[in-house]
Amino acid sequence: MNRRDALSRVGLLMGATVIGSEFFLSGCKNTDKKGGSELSKDDIAFLDEVGETIIPTTSTPGAKSVGIGAFMNMMVKDCYTDENQKIFTEGIGKLDEASKKKNSKSFLDSTPEQRTALLNDLDAEQKAYYKSKKKEDPEHYFKLMKQLTLLGYFTSETGATKTLRYIETPGHYDGNLPYKKGDKAWATS
């Protein structure tokens, strides 16, 4: 079963929201300890910029505005296995190395265009990796960063109410709502 099926299955079956499904691929299955180590302030600032490159400010706020770096730090610390914490943390250095290799400068010194080009490369790399990844193979750090960015952003108050649509108490169900291109998606299902 691929991830898409997992999503459909969970969402449709149980009337549950997609939140809590297998989207969070490196789910909290660790069993030994509460909370891992904190990332440094510099790392969090770095992740803010990575997140902002994945979900930039457009007509609506970007990922940096929701504190995506701090969110990633918290999630990695509370919910990641030791193995994935290591992959994620080491990924920060790997990402910067890749930047130096591609753009001859660190990620933070790069222009927004250079940052985007780099992360598009890394995204293509992780997608290719997952095509042949076996279950026991380790996760790819950029997959984790992208996932946490999308999760943290679209479930934030800004993401849910400014970028997407959210209604606390819908009151009724309409299964035939007119839709035109450009209308926003609902934040939760």
Partner 1 sequence: MPGDSTYVNNKAAAKNTYDAIVVGSGISGGWAAKELTEKGLKVLMLERGHNYEHIKDYKTAPKKPWEFEHRGRVTEEQAKKNPKMMRTWGATEAVIDAWANDEDAPYTEIKPFWWWRSYRLGGRSTLWGRQSYRWSDFDFAANAKDGIAIDWPIRYNDLAPWYDHVEKFAGISGSLEGLPHLPDGQFLPPMPLNIVEIDVADRLKKHYNNQRHMIIGRAAHITAPHPGRTQCQFRNRCWEGCLFGGYFSTQSSTLPAAVLTGNLTVRPDSIVTKVLYDKNTKKATGVEVLDAATNKTYTFNSKIVFLCASALNSAWVLMNSATDIWPEGLGSSSGELGHNVMDHHYNIGASGDIEGYDDKYVYGRRANGFYITRFANLYGDKRNYLRGFGYQGGASREGWSRDVAEMGVGAPLKEALTEPGGWRIGATGFGEILPYHENKITLDKTKKDKWGLPILAMDAELKQNELEMRKDIVSELKAMFEAAGVKNISTWDNGHAMGHGIHEMGTARMGKDPKTSVLNAHNQVWDAPNVFVTDGACMTSAACQNPSLTYMALTARAADYAVAELKKGNI
Taking the complex as a whole, the smallest distance from the CB of residue 5 to partner 1 amounts, in Å, to 6
The yes or no reply on residue 108 touching partner 1 (CB under 8 A) is no
Taking the complex as a whole, the smallest distance from the CB of residue 103 to partner 1 amounts, in Å, to 15
Contacting residues for 78 by C-beta, under 8 A, at least 6 apart? 28, 34, 35, 36
Stretch that binds partner 1, among 39-47, 88-96, 97-105, 123-131 (CB under 8 A): 123-131
User: What is the DSSP secondary structure assignment for residue 39, as one 8-state letter?
Assistant: P
The yes or no reply on residue 13 touching partner 1 (CB under 8 A) is yes
Q: Which of 44, 47, 72, 79 binds partner 1 (CB under 8 A)?
A: 79
Contacting residues for 105 by C-beta, under 8 A, at least 6 apart? 99, 114
Residue closer to partner 1 (CB basis): 45 or 74: 74
Do the Cβ atoms of 73 and 47 come closer than 8 Å?
yes
| Residues in 18-47 at the binding interface with partner 1, rule: CB under 8 A | 18-21, 23-24, 27-35
Stretch that binds partner 1, among 39-47, 73-81, 94-102, 132-140 (CB under 8 A): 73-81
Do the Cβ atoms of 154 and 163 come closer than 8 Å?
yes
| Residues in 53-72 at the binding interface with partner 1, rule: CB under 8 A | 53-56, 58, 60, 62
Packed helices 82-103 and 41-54: angle between N→C axes, nearest 10 degrees: 70
Query: How far apart, in whole angstroms, are the C-alpha atoms of residue 23 and residue 7?
Result: 7
Taking the complex as a whole, the smallest distance from the CB of residue 88 to partner 1 amounts, in Å, to 14
The yes or no reply on residue 163 touching partner 1 (CB under 8 A) is yes
The yes or no reply on residue 132 touching partner 1 (CB under 8 A) is no
Taking the complex as a whole, the smallest distance from the CB of residue 140 to partner 1 amounts, in Å, to 14
End-to-end CA distance of the chain: 22
Q: How is residue 95 written in tokens?
A: 């990402």
